[in-house]
Structure 1
Amino acid sequence: MPSTPTRVTGRSLVEGAAQGALLYADVGLSFWGGVDPASGEVIDRHHPLSGERLAGRVLAIPSGRGSCTGSSVLMELISNGHAPAALVLAEADEILTLGVLVAQVIFQRSLPVVCVGHEAFKRLRGQGSVRIEGARLTLSGQRPNDGWHELDFPTPALSGSTISLSQQDQALLDGSHGKAAQVAMQIVLRMADIQGATQLLDVTQAHIDGCIYTGPASLRFAEQLVQWGAKVRVPTTLNSISVDQRRWRELGVDPALGEPASALGDAYMAMGAQLSFTCAPYLLDSAPKAGEQIVWAESNAVVYANSVLGARTQKYPDFLDICIALCGRAPLTGCHLDAQRKAALIIDVPPLGPVDDSFYPLLGYHIGSLTGRRIPLIRGLEHAAPTRDDLKAFGAAFATTSAAPLFHIAGVTPEALDPVDVLEPGVSLPQDTVSVAGLLASWRELNSARHRQVDVVSLGNPHFSLSEFAALSALCAGRHKHPEVVLAITCGRAVLEQAREAGHLQAIEAFGALLVTDTCWCMLGEPVIPPGATTLMTNSGKYAHYAPGLVGRGVHFASLAQCVEAACSATASGQPPTWLQPTVHMGA
C-alpha cells in the first residue's frame, strides 16, 4: 500500500499552486552564475545539483546565496518557460522572491514561493514529489500524480500594504508622480511586507545591479520603466554591464549580445543614473560614509559597503534596487537597523605566518561557506593589517558562498574595532575555527584545472583598484607575457583614467595586457577568452568559483604575482602556496 503523504504548512511568500517532482539540496544556490537563464540548467559546478534542470520541478533549497542578480535570472526563467514549478525555502529569500514579483508585473506569470523553516525543510529530503496549495505542502515518496489539477490562486495586487506611509509615499503610490514610480512603490511595499518592515526610510544613494543583461526579460523590464517615465530620485550609479559599451564590436562580441546589453545600460541612464559601469562603486568619489543609509545591489559591493565602509544597506535584489531609487525609500529592516548588524557567529583564524595576497580571497570563500545567512565576527586578524584591496577580495569571495550582507573582523572593520560592540550582551554565540585543512580543501575546490597549462589570466573581479594597478605595474615592469596567453584586466572607466594619469599603465600595456572597462569577468566570454582556451588563472576567489559554470573552463587560483608568472610561462605550479602546505604547519 502507498504510504500516507506527509503534510507541511509554511509561510507563503508568493501565493500559488503547483506540483512536481522534487529537486532537493541542503546547500543554498545562487541563480546568477549558478543557473543558466536560457535553459534552467544548474551550472554551478561546485553545487550538488550541478547538471540538473529546474523546469517543471519543485526546487527545495535552504535559501539563495551569492549574487543579487539571481532575481533577474529567475524572472528570465519564468518568462521563457524554464522556471521551476515552485520554490520551497527554509528561510525567506528576498532575491528569489523579488524575481517572481517582477515577473507578475511585467509578464503576468508567477510561481509559488513558500518558506517552511529549517526543521520542516529537512522532512523534504528523500521525497519524490511535492504539491503546493498556498502555504500547504503535501509530500509524497511517489512521482507526481498527472491527474492533479492546479488550483486557481489569483495573483495578489501589489498594493494594500499596512506600512505607515508619509504624504510623499502616498503620492507615489497614488500615481501622482507617474506610472513607473507608482509600480516601483507598489513593489517596495510588497517586499517590505514580506520582510516584516513597518515603515520606510530615506536613502541617500543607489547602486543598480539590474543593468546586467540576463536575457530579453531584463531589457524589457528596464525599457518598460522608461516608457512609464521612470526617473531616479537619488544619486544612482550603475554596476558593470555585460559588455564594454565603447569597444564591444572591436573586441569581437556577437551583436546578439552586444546590442541588447548596451541598450540595457542606455535604458538605465535614461532613468537618470550615472555612467559608472563598475562592480566596485566603493572606489568612486561618491562612495558612502559610515552610517549612511543607501540601497546597493551587487553582492560584493553590498558586503564592502556594510563591512568596510560602515554604510547601511540590505543585500538588495536586482530590480528592487531601481524601484527604491525611483522612490528614494526603502524598507526599514535588516542591516539598516543597529540590532540586525550584530554578529551571530564567532570564527577564529589561527596564526599562519607570512601569507601572500591569495590568503584573503581564500579565507573569505572558506568563511562564507561556514556562515550561511549569519553575520560572523572573525577573530585572529587583529595584527594582520589587511589592506582595502585585501578586504575587497575577502568580501567578494565571502559574498559568493554566503548569503550574509555583512562581516566583522575584530580590530579591523569599523564597527568591530572593539569586538564587544558587535556582540549582543549576554548572548552566547556559536563558535567555529578555521583550520589549515579546511582552507586547503577550499583551495582545492577553487582549483578545478586538470593540467598546468594556462591560456588566460583573469584579473579584476571585482574591478581593479588604483593600488592594484600600481602593484601589477611593478610586477610587469621590463617583462612581456607569453605570446599564447591572454592577460586581461577589467576595471571601471574612472579608475582606468586614474591609473593612466598615475603612470601605471605604461608597463602593463608594454607587458601585453588587454584592458576592458564597463564589464566584468562574470560577464566576459568568447572571444576575449579564445575559443581554444581550456584553462584560466585568476587571483579572484569569486571568479574561480563561477568560471567553470560560466565559461566552461578549468581554473587555477593563485596570488597576483603567480598570475603574472603564469602569464609569462603559460604554466601554473598547481601547488598550494607555501603558507598553506600542510608540511609547514605542525598539527594542521
Structure 2
Amino acid sequence: MTSDAKLIFQGTAYINGQATGILLPSDEPLSFWGGVNPSTGEIVDRHHELSGRYLQHSVLAIPSGRGSCSASGVILELLRNGKGPNAIIFERQEEILTLGVMVAEEIFGMAIPIVRLLPGDFRKLLGLGGARVEVRDGCVRIGKKCSKDSNSCSLVLAVDIDRPSIHAGSVNLSPIDQAMLEGAHGEAARVSMRIILRMASLLGAKELMDVSQVHVDGCLYTGPASLAVAETLRDWGGQVRVPTSLNSISIDLTRWRAQEIDPVFAGHAQSLAQAYIDMGAQPTFTCAPYQLESAPKFGEQVAWAESNAVVYANSVLGARTMKYPDFLDIAIALTGRAPRGGPHIDANRRASLVVTVAGIDDPRTVDDSFYPLLGYHVGSVAANRIPVIVGISSLVPTRDNLKAFGAAFATLSSAPMFHILGVTPESTTLDAVLSKDLEIQSISVSLDALTSCWEQLNTASPGQDVGLISLGNPHFSLQEIRHLAQLCRGRQKGDAVTVIITCSRACYGLATQAGLIKELEKFGIQFVTDTCWCMIGEPIILPSTKAIMTNSAKYAHYGPGITGRQFVFGSLAQCVDSACEAGFLQRKPLWLISKGHEVRDKHQGIYRVDK
C-alpha cells in the first residue's frame, strides 16, 4: 500500500483481488444494462448523475446496482474488452454485478475486486471523487487526488486465477449437489454448481432447493463474452434439468433480413439463441413469460431472471423467485438447484415501506399512464426495500396495469417485488405483508411527485416531431393488442409516423387467430417478435427519427441512452392520437392537472407531433 494513504476502510470482500484506480463515486444506484455501454464503458443512463463518465481506470463506488438482471452480462463484457472499472465498492449487498464477475472468474480466469463497505464508511467516499484508491481484498485505501494526466492509476490486478475454494459446510449439500460439485454430472454442471454455491454463500443461504422452472435472461447478445459463456457451457455437455424458457433475444429471427439487420450481428444473436436451445431451453423469446401457459402458480418455487418478470412473478402471481442475474439463471437450469434464500422464504417477502396514494380513488379519474408513473416513483423511493402500496385497490388495476407498474418499479428499484393492498395475492391486510423484523417507513404520494416523474420521462424538446411510436416494453399482451385495435378503428395513421409493437411469438399467434394482426397491419402498425425495445436500434429505428413516443416508463427511462433519441411518454390512447392527428399537442394527463393542481413543468407540458 502507498505511504500517502489518508483513509483506510475495512469491508467485506465479495471478490478478492488487488487494484488501483481513480474513485468514481455516486449516491445513486446504477443499472449496467441500459446504463453502461458494454463496448466503450460510458455511463449512458441519461437520468444518472454520472451520465457521460467512463468506467475504465476507475474504482466505481455506488450503493448497489438496480434495474436489469442483464447487468451481469454487461460487466462480463466490460472485463473481457478492458473497458470496465478496476474495482467496485458497494454500500449494500449486490448480487447481479457480483455474479457477472464470479462468472468471469470461473469460466475465463479473470476478475476485479469487489468490496462492500459499512454505510458510514461508504458515505465518506462520496465527497472524494478523483482520489487515488487502492483495493486489496476487503481493504480500501484512499490516497492523494490524481492529476488528470497521471498514469499512476492504471489497473494493477493480482487476482489468483486458481478458482476460490468452495468451503464444505458453508452450505449443506445434498448427495446430488455433492456429485455435481465433484464433476460426476459433467463439467457444465460442476462449474454451474460452483457458481450457485458462491452466490448462496454471499446470500447467507444454508442449503439449496429444487425449482420447478427457470426463465433465462442471458440469451440476449451483449457481446462476444455472452456468446462465449453459452457456447462453453453447451460444449461442456450442459443440458437443462428443469423446464426452461428463454427471454427476448437481440433480433427477430423470422424478420431480421427484411429489417436489414447487420448479418454479422444477426449471426451472433442466432448462435447465442441456438446455444441455449441446444442445452434444452424452449424458444419462447419473451420478456413477459407470465403471459405463457407455463406461467407458475401461487407459491411455486421458480428461478426467473429479467427484472420485470421477476417482479411480476413474485408480486402478481405469488410465485417465488429471487432476482436472478444472467448466467446464474442458466447455472440453475443446468442443475435444477437454487439457493434457499431471498423471496423464496416468507420473511424475505415482507414489506418495510408503506406508500399511501391519496386522492385518487375513482378509476374514471386516471388513465393507463398512472400505473407506470406510480411504479417509477415508488421504485425511486423504495431502493432495495419491498413496498406495499395503499389506496389504489378501488381503481381495480388490470394485470396489464400491474405489468406496467412493475416494469417501471423494477427500472429504479433493486427490490424483487411489491405489494398492493387488496390487489396482489399476499396483500390481504397490511399486517399480513409488513415485516416483523425491519423498521417500517411510511410515505405518501402526491400529484407533484408523479408530475416530476412525467417531466423526467418526457425528454423531447418543444415542437419536436415524433417519428416512431414504440409499444410493447415489456411485451404487449393479447388484451393490449385487442384494446389497441379498438382505439384504432375508424382512424388512419399519419404517413410520417411509424408504429411498432413488440410481442411474443405465442401472443402474435393468438392475435393472428383473432384477426387482430391483420386489422392493425391495415391501420399501418408493424409487429416485431422475439426481441424487445431494449435491444432494438437502427435500422428498425429509422436514422431520421428524432423523437420516440412510448407508453412504457421503462423504455422512456432507458431509451435516450440506448437510442440517442429524445422521448415522449404518454398513455396508449395518447400514442394513438399522436400517430393519427396532425399538430396533436402532447400534454400532461388530465388526472395530473385535475382538482386545481397547478401546471408547473418544463416546456409548459407541450410536445407537438406533426405529420
* TM-score w.r.t. length of structure 1: 0.97
Match of 1:337 in 2: 345
Deviations 1:314-366 (A, max 9, x none): 00000000000101000011100000000011111112350000000110011
Q: 1:580 aligns with which of 569, 592, 603?
A: 592
Secondary structure, aligned partner of 2:512: helix
Matches of 1:153 and 1:54 in 2, distance apart?
19
Matches of 1:92 and 1:540 in 2, distance apart?
29
Structure 2: give runs of 5+ residues left out of the alignment: 601-611
Matches of 2:226 and 2:447 in 1, distance apart?
42
Matches of 1:207 and 1:154 in 2, distance apart?
33
8 A Cα contact 1:66 1:403, kept in partner = yes
Matches of 1:551 and 1:301 in 2, distance apart?
23
Matches of 1:55 and 1:201 in 2, distance apart?
39
From the superposition, tell whether residues 256 and 117 of structure 1 become closer, same or farther in structure 2 (CA, over 3 Å).
farther
8 A Cα contact 2:240 2:281, kept in partner = yes
Matches of 1:427 and 1:264 in 2, distance apart?
42
Matches of 1:80 and 1:571 in 2, distance apart?
47
Return the offset for 1:432: 0.9
Match of 1:375 in 2: 386
Q: 2:141 aligns with which of 138, 142, 146?
A: 138
Percent identity (aligned) = 52
8 A Cα contact 1:480 1:510, kept in partner = no
Matches of 2:253 and 2:121 in 1, distance apart?
47
From the superposition, tell whether residues 512 and 158 of structure 1 become closer, same or farther in structure 2 (CA, over 3 Å).
farther
Match of 2:400 in 1: 389
Answer yes or no: is 1:154 the counterpart of 2:157.
Answer: no
Match of 1:315 in 2: 323
Secondary structure, aligned partner of 1:377: strand
Matches of 2:16 and 2:439 in 1, distance apart?
37
Matches of 1:315 and 1:38 in 2, distance apart?
25
Q: Which amino acid aligns with 1:454?
A: V
Matches within 5 A, 1:215-226: 215-226=223-234
Secondary structure, aligned partner of 1:406: coil
Matches of 1:151 and 1:239 in 2, distance apart?
34
Q: 1:429 aligns with which of 440, 455, 459?
A: 440
Matches of 2:549 and 2:157 in 1, distance apart?
51
Answer yes or no: is 1:403 the counterpart of 2:414.
Answer: yes
Return the offset for 1:120: 1.1
Deviations 1:278-311 (A, max 9, x none): 0000000000001000000000000000000000
Q: 1:189 aligns with which of 197, 200, 203?
A: 197
Match of 2:263 in 1: 255
Answer yes or no: is 1:445 the counterpart of 2:462.
Answer: no
Secondary structure, aligned partner of 1:343: coil
Return the offset for 1:159: 2.9
Q: How many residues align structurally?
A: 587
Match of 2:577 in 1: 565
Match of 1:78 in 2: 79
Q: Which amino acid aligns with 1:170?
A: Q
8 A Cα contact 2:218 2:327, kept in partner = yes
Q: 1:537 aligns with which of 549, 556, 567?
A: 549
Matches within 5 A, 1:98-177: 98-127=99-128, 128-143=131-146, 150=156, 152-155=158-161, 156-157=163-164, 159-161=166-168, 162-177=170-185
Secondary structure, aligned partner of 1:573: strand
Return the offset for 1:564: 0.7
Secondary structure, aligned partner of 1:472: helix
From the superposition, tell whether residues 23 and 428 of structure 1 become closer, same or farther in structure 2 (CA, over 3 Å).
closer
Return the offset for 1:117: 2.5
Match of 2:605 in 1: none
Matches of 1:485 and 1:531 in 2, distance apart?
13
Deviations 1:384-423 (A, max 9, x none): 1000000000000000011000000011000002221111
Secondary structure, aligned partner of 1:415: coil
Secondary structure, aligned partner of 1:536: strand
Return the offset for 1:163: 0.8
Return the offset for 1:49: 0.4
Return the offset for 1:461: 0.4
Match of 1:516 in 2: 528
Return the offset for 1:153: 4.2
Secondary structure, aligned partner of 1:471: helix
Matches of 2:392 and 2:266 in 1, distance apart?
44
From the superposition, tell whether residues 242 and 8 of structure 1 become closer, same or farther in structure 2 (CA, over 3 Å).
same
Match of 1:23 in 2: 24
Match of 2:609 in 1: none
My pick for the range that moved more, 436-445 or 102-111, is: 102-111
* CA RMSD, 1 decimal: 1.8
From the superposition, tell whether residues 488 and 147 of structure 1 become closer, same or farther in structure 2 (CA, over 3 Å).
closer
Match of 1:487 in 2: 499
Matches of 2:445 and 2:321 in 1, distance apart?
28
Structure 1: give runs of 5+ residues left out of the alignment: none
Q: 2:215 aligns with which of 190, 207, 232?
A: 207
Return the offset for 1:195: 1.1
8 A Cα contact 2:111 2:159, kept in partner = no
Match of 2:45 in 1: 44
Return the offset for 1:504: 1.9
Return the offset for 1:130: 1.4
Return the offset for 1:150: 4.2
Match of 1:269 in 2: 277
8 A Cα contact 2:5 2:142, kept in partner = no
From the superposition, tell whether residues 111 and 33 of structure 1 become closer, same or farther in structure 2 (CA, over 3 Å).
same
Return the offset for 1:571: 5.3
Secondary structure, aligned partner of 1:462: strand
8 A Cα contact 1:476 1:507, kept in partner = no
Matches within 5 A, 1:288-367: 288-352=296-360, 354-367=365-378
Matches of 2:582 and 2:416 in 1, distance apart?
37
Q: Which amino acid aligns with 1:540?
A: S
8 A Cα contact 1:21 1:129, kept in partner = yes
Secondary structure, aligned partner of 1:399: helix
Match of 1:464 in 2: 476
Matches of 2:370 and 2:239 in 1, distance apart?
43
Secondary structure, aligned partner of 2:549: strand
8 A Cα contact 1:45 1:549, kept in partner = yes
Return the offset for 1:382: 2.2
Answer yes or no: is 1:419 the counterpart of 2:437.
Answer: no
Secondary structure, aligned partner of 2:535: coil
Return the offset for 1:503: 2.3
Secondary structure, aligned partner of 1:473: helix
My pick for the range that moved more, 175-184 or 28-37, is: 175-184
Matches of 1:256 and 1:421 in 2, distance apart?
53
Q: Which amino acid aligns with 1:439?
A: L
From the superposition, tell whether residues 441 and 220 of structure 1 become closer, same or farther in structure 2 (CA, over 3 Å).
same
Q: Which amino acid aligns with 1:306?
A: N
Q: Which amino acid aligns with 2:544?
A: G
My pick for the range that moved more, 340-349 or 148-157, is: 148-157
